[in-house]
Chain A
Amino acid sequence: MQMLSLFVGYFLCGMIGLLGIAILWQIYDGTIDLSMLLSEANGDASMSRFQFLVFTFVISLSLFLVIIGGKDGPAFPATIPAGILTMLGISGSSYAVGKAISFSDPAGVQKEPLSVKISPDDPAVKYAGSLQFTAEVSREVENAKLKWEVIAGNGTIDENTGLFKAPATAATPPAPHATVKVTLLGYNDVSDLAVVTFIS
């Protein structure tokens, strides 16, 4: 009977260990996604959540160290200092009140609209010259890729790099402008325009 209980004990230890490894592995390879662990509904990182994370780590590690560090073998501490509970209470209350403030206004929980901003937006370039366009996406998008094109006027642009090349000479009839468009691939309605003026 003693052997059986010992065997069951070791078996359970093994199972708990395997469960821990499985959880850690899934976090490591991204199956358990922690990317939004500290994020609010609008996509911004939350200071209250960060505080909760720090306190959780500190208290759990402290508790573990105290339990295994007991003089008469592993034991749960007889008392939990009131200061710890107060700190956790302050942190929890702050989190709850912060949430209430954010949710009191719809704008506080809406994700920042996805947009792309072209730069420079009103450039001038000499005939036969070139100009490097850049664009900034308002928030992080996985595998974000931009597509560049000239939708009106003369000139060419590299659709991947945004390097614009002006025509060698003025066109006849005169067409001193070109319109460059940048689009976030996969989001056809997320785009921006710039009008290029050709100068002699």
Chain B
Amino acid sequence: MCKTRLTGAGRMFMPSIAQILSWEIKGFLVALFAIVGGQLFGGQINLSNLLYGRKSDAGQPMHDAAGKKIGLRKENSLYFSPERVQLLMFTVSAGVYYLTQVMHDPGKLPEIPNSWTTAMGGSNAVYLGGKTLARFWPGNNPNRS
């Protein structure tokens, strides 16, 4: 694959252009992943409310424990979103699974089982369904379960 070139009197090894490019791309990708990963875990890339959705409930009445109206909601409320959690788990699992397959046999891009694409489609459908419900049918309970 990456041959070294013998130059001059055969005393000095020069990497081939393909080899240099391979090192450059490898270094670039690794450094890019490291920087983006570092910023994700370090908090520089905004991840706020990644697992929370917003209900379109601004302007809806709020009630106290006795059922008495105490005002109107000013902002869209946040709710913990299980549909986002399951999508996160499916996404990370699919990514790790595929990378593992490639590293096991880097000669070709491995096939993805049909069950995985079906599961990913279902997972995205659940996520979009939850998002649609929260946007168009937010209900009156600010603490959506």
Contacts and interface: CB of A to CB of B under 8 A. Distances in A.
B98 A58 contact: yes
B56 A107 contact: yes
A86 to B, nearest CB: 5
Contact of A71 (B20, B98, B107): B107
B1 A86 contact: no
B99 to A, nearest CB: 6
Interface residues on A, range: 35 or more
Give chain B's interface secondary structure class: helix
B95 A58 contact: yes
Contact of B109 (A45, A84, A108): A84
B74 to A, nearest CB: 8
Contacts of B75: 112-113
Nearest to A78: B108
A129 interface: no
A136 interface: no
B50 A38 contact: yes
B66 to A, nearest CB: 19
Going nearest first, the 9 A-B pairs with the smallest beta carbon separation are A83-B112, A69-B106, A94-B124, A45-B50, A44-B49, A62-B102, A20-B28, A58-B95, A9-B17
Given A16-B21, A27-B36, A81-B112, 19 more contacts: A13-B20, A17-B24, A24-B28, A38-B45, A39-B46, A43-B46, A48-B127, A51-B91, A54-B95, A62-B99, A64-B25, A74-B1, A74-B2, A81-B111, A90-B120, A91-B120, A98-B128, A102-B131, A107-B76
